[in-house]
C-alpha cells in the first residue's frame, strides 16, 4: 500500500510542476522544488537534491565564480541522469542549464586570472 502512495505522490508532483509551467509562471520555482525524482533508488524532492549538490560543492572552490560554475556543472550532470520532467524541474529549481555552462566557465576563468594577477603581480610603487 505504501508503494502505491509513494508513486501517487511522485506523479502528483510532476503534474503540479507541468501545470505551473503552463498556467502559473509565478509558482514554477516552488513547484519545481517539490517534484519527486528517483535518485539511487530513492524518491527525493528536487529541493533536497539541490541541497545535496550544494553540500558536495562546498569547499571545492574559493572564488564565488568558480563555486558557481562547479555547482552548475554538478546540477547539469545530475540532470542528465534524470527523466525528462525531473531534469526540467531540477534545472528550473537550481536556475542552471547546459546553456549557462560556457558563460559560467568563462566568468570562473576570468576570476581565477584576476585573482592570480592580484596575488602574484608586482606591487605598485606609489610616490
125: its cell numbers = 610603487
Higher pLDDT, 21 or 61: 21
> Cα angle vertex 35, ends 33, 41, to 5°?
120
For residue 82, give every residue at least 6 positions away whose Cβ sits within 8 Å of its Cβ, in sequence order, or none. 37, 38, 39, 90
Report whether 54 contacts 71 (CB < 8 A).
yes
Residues 23, 8: Cα–Cα separation, whole Å:
22
pLDDT at 40 over 50: yes
pLDDT at 1 over 60: no
Report whether 31 contacts 16 (CB < 8 A).
yes
pLDDT at 127 over 70: no
* pLDDT score recorded for residue 117: 85
- Classify residue 40 by its DSSP letter: T
Mean pLDDT over all residues of the chain?
90
Average pLDDT over residues 16-44: 94
* pLDDT score recorded for residue 5: 81
Average pLDDT over residues 17-40: 94
Point out the least confidently predicted range of 55-59, 97-101, 105-109. 55-59
Amino acid at each position: 500500500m505504501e508503494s502505491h502512495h509513494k508513486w501517487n505522490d511522485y506523479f502528483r508532483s510532476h503534474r503540479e510542476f507541468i501545470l505551473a509551467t503552463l498556467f502559473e509562471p509565478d509558482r514554477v520555482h516552488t513547484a519545481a522544488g517539490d517534484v519527486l525524482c528517483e535518485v539511487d533508488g530513492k524518491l527525493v524532492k528536487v529541493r533536497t537534491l539541490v541541497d545535496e549538490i550544494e553540500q558536495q560543492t562546498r569547499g571545492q572552490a574559493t572564488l564565488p565564480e568558480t563555486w558557481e560554475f562547479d555547482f552548475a556543472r554538478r546540477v547539469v550532470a545530475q540532470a542528465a541522469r534524470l527523466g525528462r520532467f525531473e531534469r526540467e524541474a531540477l534545472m528550473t529549481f537550481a536556475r542552471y542549464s547546459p546553456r549557462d555552462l560556457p558563460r559560467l566557465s568563462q566568468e570562473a576563468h576570468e576570476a581565477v586570472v584576476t585573482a592570480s594577477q592580484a596575488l602574484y603581480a608586482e606591487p605598485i610603487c606609489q610616490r
